[in-house]
Structure 1
Amino acid sequence: MNHSLSPRPQAGDGRLAPGATDGQRRPLGLRTRAMLFGVLAAAILTGLIALGSRGFHWFDATLIGYAVASIFAVAAVTYKYSFWLARPQTGRYWRRSWQLFFSYANFRRYTVLIPTAILDLFSQQFIRRRGMYRWLTHQCIFWGVILSCCITFSLTFGWIRMTLTATGQHLVWFFGFPLLAFPVDSALGWLIYHALDLTAILLFIGLVLALHRRFHDLSLITVQRFGFDLMPLALLMAIVITGLALTADSTWLRGAYYWYISLTHEVVVVLWLISLPFGKFFHLIERPATVGIELYWKTGEGTEMQTCARCGEAFAPVRFIQDLKKTLLDVGENYSLREDVFAQQSAESTGTEAEEQATRTLWWQDLCPSCKRVARGQATLAALDPGGNRFL
């Protein structure tokens, strides 16, 4: 093996792989389709608000700002998510994951694999392996945001409301149907009344831990950006403080400043909702897709494994390597190691046939990680000492 086995991406010099398209260019149709999905999601949410509030009969008009911001956030999130799935890197694995999910051959494995992957998603074990401090921080923020959103949106949209019964109990209604009755002075009643306060306290703990780490961890201070890393945390902290201030004002100050605090709270909530599709917390929407990746990899472990072209060791499922090559072709990258053979084969074919021929060509991806490191080292030595005598 010599220095000719170093990877040579070809997209930068205009020579794209056969059948490939520029990964940075998006046809207008993809953007239009993503916009239509966003509009459809906003229309569906509006319909659910009308349905859950019984034709807006139980919709609180004073919460119109929250509702409008939520509809906009849903439309924007759907647009960005749809556009994200249109990328070759994510679209191929998204489609492949659903194919595996509905495959009868893999059905037996779902009983263990799917619940385990979902549990890992909610417990965030991948973060716990990085450190208990980071895991506790993410758990507090994750569950504080999720539970607060579930409660807030349900109340804002009129999906949940409470009325007083003739016996003096409070009755919870969900989508216009009676759900639960409880005494006003019961422990359950206290938990229901203060559910948002409890989730706010949980979120507050996570935010304090996160901000402490971001202001004291030198490895984060050097790379963090104010708008992307700190601003979302600051908005969440403002939401928590103003939300708890509403409870404090109504409990101890008899609502003396309730209007001003509620207006401030609404402003920061709306700002956070509008920034959700474009900021750091969009990964809350992206993260569930990892369940499909887990399924993709686990089901591939029992299939044919790719052997290294240099040492012959198995290192990855063949399906993964083949999909990776096709994805690289889609984004205009050519990592073939035998360029002459690749060019001769691809000159006579295009499209799917070119992809199939490319998978039969020796690629950089056909080497295991250890052999890649060896190839890089040999290429470096060959570049520094073309005659082969300098390091003797």
Structure 2
Amino acid sequence: MTEPPAPPAAASNAAPTLDAPPPAGVAGGPGPRSVARRATLAGTIVSVLLILAIVFGSRMLQDFDSALLPYAVATVFLAFGVAYRYTVWISAPGARRLFKQGWRSLFSADNIRKAPTALPGMIATYLGFQKFLGARSHARWAAHQLIFWGCILAALITFPLTWGWFTFTSPSGAGPGYAMRIWGIKVIGFDSLNILGWLMFHGLDIAAVLVIPGASYFLWRRMKDRGAMTGQRFAYDLVPLIALIVISVTGLLLTFSSIFLHGGGYEFLAILHMVSVVFTLIYIPFGKFFHIVQRPAAVGMQLFKYTARQDEQLFHCKRCGQLIDTAPYVENLKGTMRDLKLNFETWTEYCPRCKRVLRGTAYLSDVKKGFN
């Protein structure tokens, strides 16, 4: 049996700068300047589209609340940052291949015909309930679920209100009867004194109650768990959690001030809450929260692997016969290595254990014998 060639002894992990030439060995890929221009264009287009959506969705700003202008501006920066970083991310050979394969699987008529329930099931289990986290720790899964659903609820309420898409109007001007309108069209009428009205006006408080214990658990874990402390970075790992807690606590304090303190300290709390929200929205594309944007793309990759398994397109280790992954996935990995000119793609045909054995054998036969 011919052994696969050993990988290079060392490789540089330095990230290229915008002024640096493309990394050696990346053939056919766009250079850093080209990627930056493309990402800037994508960010600009998305930002302009969002501004137009705000203008037209609020009926030419008729329903737009000027007090929420800082939040709206922050969402425009958020849109630019997400589009910019997403474009940079999928410009890398590995991410680009996975991205294309994922979307191809999502829109494949053959996949829909063979497994019509696979995609909805993966969206529910992989994106919604994130069952893969439960395999690591039930506590971490529960905390992640609290943060996830709290943030989803907050986003569904905050963004449309900020953009002027949702409005709550009262014929009397002070309630208790209110009407919720979307784009100026009445959707539902409710009494602010019943349970539905309470839920309507306290949705963000419910979101805060969900987020605080989840974020606090992860913050406590990062302060106490040695494994988590080893590689954590303050700006990347701790700031997002602190920001979520500050947003949630200040939001609850606003409600507390209006109900129990007759508005005492409300202005200061409102400014503090606004600053924390704006900072977090701008931070999302450039910090740990960006994985929220990346995660949906992984569903397509999971579907790509799932359909291959259903067709029994499996790839086994050439040395021991252990199952590695699906054959299309391994071939996709080989293609990425060819794109990067990593001349040891044959190693993808072996399981991790056999790779270690082959490396050890090569060391004993080709290196250590020189010391005899």
> What secondary structure is seen at the aligned counterpart in 2 of 1:55?
coil
Aligned to 2:90: 85
**CA–CA distance in 1 between the matches of 2:74 and 2:143?**
27
**CA–CA distance in 1 between the matches of 2:234 and 2:246?**
16
Deviation at 1:312? 5.5
Aligned to 1:243: 251
> What secondary structure is seen at the aligned counterpart in 1 of 2:136?
coil
Deviations 1:158-193 (A, max 9, x none): 111111136952100011110100122111101111
**CA–CA distance in 2 between the matches of 1:114 and 1:182?**
36
Aligned to 1:359: none
Deviation at 1:313? 5.8
Aligned to 2:203: 195
Alpha-carbon contact 2:212-2:245 (below 8 Å) kept: yes
RMSD of aligned alpha carbons: 2.6
Moved more, 117-126 or 26-35: 26-35
**CA–CA distance in 2 between the matches of 1:69 and 1:207?**
22
Deviation at 1:314? 5.5
Runs of at least 4 residues off by over 6 Å? 13-17
Aligned to 2:335: 326
Moved more, 86-95 or 296-305: 296-305
Aligned to 2:220: 212
Identify if the C-alpha distance between structure 1 residues 314 and 203 changes in structure 2 by more than 3 Å, giving closer, same or farther.
Answer: closer
> What secondary structure is seen at the aligned counterpart in 2 of 1:222?
helix
Alpha-carbon contact 1:77-1:277 (below 8 Å) kept: yes
1:297 aligns with 2:296: no
Aligned to 1:386: 369
Aligned to 1:224: 232
Residue number among 268, 282, 285 corresponding to 1:277 in the alignment: 285
> What secondary structure is seen at the aligned counterpart in 1 of 2:315?
strand
Amino acid at match of 1:216: K
Alpha-carbon contact 1:10-1:334 (below 8 Å) kept: no
Deviations 1:87-121 (A, max 9, x none): 11111111122222333322223412101110111
Amino acid at match of 1:224: Q
Aligned to 1:153: 159
Residue number among 50, 53, 61 corresponding to 2:55 in the alignment: 50
1:170 aligns with 2:178: yes
Alpha-carbon contact 2:133-2:141 (below 8 Å) kept: yes
Aligned length: 359
Identify if the C-alpha distance between structure 1 residues 29 and 165 changes in structure 2 by more than 3 Å, giving closer, same or farther.
Answer: same
Deviation at 1:136? 0.8
Deviation at 1:371? 2.5
Deviation at 1:315? 3.5
Deviations 1:30-89 (A, max 9, x none): 321211111111111111111221100111111111110110011111110111111111
Aligned to 1:137: 143
Aligned to 1:33: 38
Amino acid at match of 2:102: S
Identify if the C-alpha distance between structure 1 residues 208 and 316 changes in structure 2 by more than 3 Å, giving closer, same or farther.
Answer: closer
Amino acid at match of 2:240: P
> What secondary structure is seen at the aligned counterpart in 2 of 1:117?
helix
Identify if the C-alpha distance between structure 1 residues 299 and 199 changes in structure 2 by more than 3 Å, giving closer, same or farther.
Answer: same
With normalisation by structure 2, the TM-score equals 0.89
**Structure with greater contact order relative to length (CA < 8 Å, sep ≥ 6):** 1
> What secondary structure is seen at the aligned counterpart in 1 of 2:116?
helix
1:364 aligns with 2:347: yes
Deviation at 1:373? 2.9
Unpaired runs of at least 5, structure 2: 13-21
The higher radius of gyration belongs to 1
Aligned to 2:102: 97
Amino acid at match of 1:145: C
Alpha-carbon contact 1:169-1:183 (below 8 Å) kept: yes
Amino acid at match of 2:82: V
Identify if the C-alpha distance between structure 1 residues 385 and 165 changes in structure 2 by more than 3 Å, giving closer, same or farther.
Answer: same
Identify if the C-alpha distance between structure 1 residues 275 and 87 changes in structure 2 by more than 3 Å, giving closer, same or farther.
Answer: same
Moved more, 27-36 or 52-61: 27-36
Unpaired runs of at least 5, structure 1: 337-362
Alpha-carbon contact 2:146-2:211 (below 8 Å) kept: yes
**CA–CA distance in 2 between the matches of 1:31 and 1:110?**
39
Amino acid at match of 1:369: P
